[in-house]
A and B are shown apart, each in its own frame.
Chain A
Amino acid sequence: MTGNRWQRIADQFEKLDHRLDLGRRICLAAVELLDAESASLSFTHDHVASWIEGSDDRAVKLDEQQFALGDGPTFRAIGSLTPVMTEDMTSPDALALWPAFAPPAVRLDARAVFAFPLNVGEARLGVMSVYRNRPGALTAAQYADGLVLASLATMALLRDQAGASPGDLAGSFSPGLSRQSQVQLAAGMVSEQLGVSIIEALVRLRAHAFAEERSVNSVARSVIERQLVFEKEERS
């Protein structure tokens, strides 16, 4: 039961053109797995998109509009712990909820919008948005696939910032071997050691693992056992 979903999505990735950048591949996989027409990744800082990647131009445009208007499921998902789903943009509910974004969304044929936050605990990195031309909900399986892809994008972004090669991301799937809680505990310690945000701490953990060719789990363990302490002057 555990691990199958990761594995299936890893397989899906293998089928995509490897010359494409990872963000683009995640968008394309989202379109495929969630039976949608467009998908995007927006990376954010303080509710401003620092860059947007899309499966097509429309996805990028839909994201840009939401950030410009400060309205819409994607914009709302930035601070959300769970996905923000709008099943029909033409419904009165959707118009009431997204007064600024619903009309342009409908003009661009985005009838259903599913926005998955890119989060690890309190580390909020952005949003993956999935756009469909028809109204309707995601199935539970599509919802879960969306969560896996959003986690993948989150990992990719952290690794990218840590200077690690994103190429072997699919290979880092570790079904059934989650040491997630240890990594988060260690990130909290590093955040306090360096006086930096939790995102920065997660990046520093990964950068250290990459530089020493160790797994992030093993680095996290050293931090928890207080064998490894990050020092402020270590920053370059």
Chain B
Amino acid sequence: MPPTDITDTVEAELPDSSQLAAAFVDLSRAVNDGKDMVEILTMLAERCVQVLHIAACGILVIDPRGELEVIGSSNHSAHLLDLFQVQNVEGPCLECCRDGEPVIDLELSPSGPWPGFAAATLAQGYRAVYAMPLAARGVVVGALNLFAESALTAERATVAQALADAATIALLQVDPREDATVVTRRLHLVVEERNTIEQAKGMLAQRFTIDADAAFLRLRDAAGRTRSRLIDVARSVVTRDETHPAAPLLTDQRE
């Protein structure tokens, strides 16, 4: 569904339309500021949780090498990542990426179509799951995954798809039918940047004895305070570049 539909019809019905508008403004500003995709998609996942009143959100892309990769999520805990991984074997997201259509399961059940995924998701307290395709011009490049305690209203589901469309535009920035190689390059780049950021998170998690979530926040805070791109700060952490302005913020002062 094109994003233009929702601004006219849905926004007025939503109590939190200003939050929604803010989400789109944030997104376009982040793209214009040249923020890296991992940061943009993470921000989008966090916004989805706020705007849609859901429990958690994750954004996955199809690595051109063939795997499904989690790029951004509202919550970096191992629990959420577990969910995604179970889902990589079976689950709505895989189906959504394969067919390019939204896949919605409002009543997850261990006896349903994806028993393992349902059990793991229910164990986290989420009963409903939405997988919205990240697709442009018929080319599917990933999925937006929403986990909720109960079904979303139809309006909110529409908003979710609009946010997924916005994420796709930010991610690709080109018409995928006209420049398939550029799309491949961009998807590959975002996965590699994600890898660098994970490596940096691991180093900070160990350095400060914090979890991956807190390590990400720390990284993002250092990027914000030094007006650097997240990926550049992550790179400076992994290569132990002490000349980077963020280095003093990320050094263990206890020693």
Contacts and interface: CB of A to CB of B under 8 A. Distances in A.
B199 A1 contact: no
Interface in B78-135: 78, 81, 85, 88-89, 94, 97-98
A189 B184 contact: no
A1 B70 CA distance: 16
Given A82-B185, A191-B199, A191-B203, A147 B193 contact: no
A185 B81 CA distance: 12
B206 interface: yes
Interface string B57-94: 00000111111111000000010010001001100001
Given A140-B180, A140-B181, A224-B78, A3 B206 contact: no
Contacts of B180: 139-140
Specify which of A4, A123, A175, A185 lies most central, judged by the most chain B CB atoms within 10 Å of its CB.
A185
Given A185-B212, A188-B201, A81 B66 contact: no
A179 B85 contact: yes
Nearest to B195: A121
Nearest to B212: A185
Nearest to A224: B78
A188 B67 contact: no
Specify which of A4, A144, A182 lies most central, judged by the most chain B CB atoms within 10 Å of its CB.
A144
A120 interface: yes
Contact of B89 (A5, A138, A140, A177): A177
Contacts of A176: 67-68, 88-89, 94
A172 interface: no
Given A82-B189, A191-B202, A178 B63 contact: yes
Contact of B67 (A120, A139, A178): A178
A193 B206 contact: yes
Contact of B199 (A83, A143, A184): A184
B212 to A, nearest CB: 6
B105 to A, nearest CB: 19
B86 to A, nearest CB: 10
Given A140-B184, A176-B89, A181-B198, A122 B65 contact: no
A198 interface: yes
B238 A1 contact: no
Interface residues of A, number: 45
A82 B195 contact: no
A71 B186 CA distance: 25
B203 A143 contact: no
B148 interface: no
B199 A187 contact: yes
Contacts of A11: none
B242 interface: no
Contacts of A68: none
A6 interface: yes
A6 B203 contact: no
A180 B81 contact: no
B203 A188 contact: yes
B175 interface: no
B239 interface: yes
B183 interface: yes
Given A2-B68, A123-B199, A143-B185, 7 more contacts: A4-B66, A122-B239, A143-B181, A175-B67, A179-B85, A188-B206, A188-B238
Closest 3 CB pairs between A and B?
A188-B202, A121-B195, A140-B180
15 contacts: A7-B66, A82-B185, A121-B196, A121-B199, A122-B195, A176-B68, A176-B89, A180-B69, A184-B199, A185-B198, A188-B238, A191-B238, A192-B207, A198-B199, A225-B78
